[in-house]
Amino acid sequence: MATYTVTNAAEGIPAGAKAHLAQVVLDFSSTALVAGTDVVQAIEVPANTLVVCAGIEVLTAGGASSVLDLGDTTVDRYVTDVDGNTAGSVEIGTASWLYTSADTIDLSADTADFAGKVRVFAVLAPMGSAPTAAAFA
């Protein structure tokens, strides 16, 4: 088995774009999130961005049997079935996902309408365009 050494590779933290926290507080007290039909595109994700993790924090309870999901075209990619009736509930999905084209992280209600307040958050790491391949020998 051969061992290869990468040359001309920078060490440490690159000087380019850094990972950051995107968050939004959504208040459904005047307009409920309707279960099974409404989708809120909560966070915009640019192309070539790695979502390290994403989650939901229930700030104000919003319905006796409402559960919340957080995802994209896969409705529960990050979080599934957060109890929307318990203020203080926090669920952080540990799955990461690389978006090669722009998309959104979406909030939806599963079983009953939600009329509370939530914080939706995600850690985004811009990947930018692919760097020049490092030489190795």
Count the Cβ atoms, other than its own, within 10 Å of residue 78: 26
Q: What percent of the chain has pLDDT over 70?
A: 84
The pLDDT, as a whole number, for residue 111 is: 87
The whole-chain average pLDDT of the chain stands at 87
DSSP state, residue 75: T
The pLDDT tens digits of the residues spanning 21-72 come to 999 999 999 999 999 999 999 999 999 999 999 999 999 999 778 999 999 9
DSSP state, residue 85: T
CATH topology of domain 17-130: Jelly Rolls (2.60.120)
Count the Cβ atoms, other than its own, within 10 Å of residue 94: 9
Q: Alpha-carbon distance 135 to 62, whole Å? A: 55
pLDDT class of 8 with cuts at 50, 70, 90: low
Q: Alpha-carbon distance 16 to 6, whole Å? A: 21
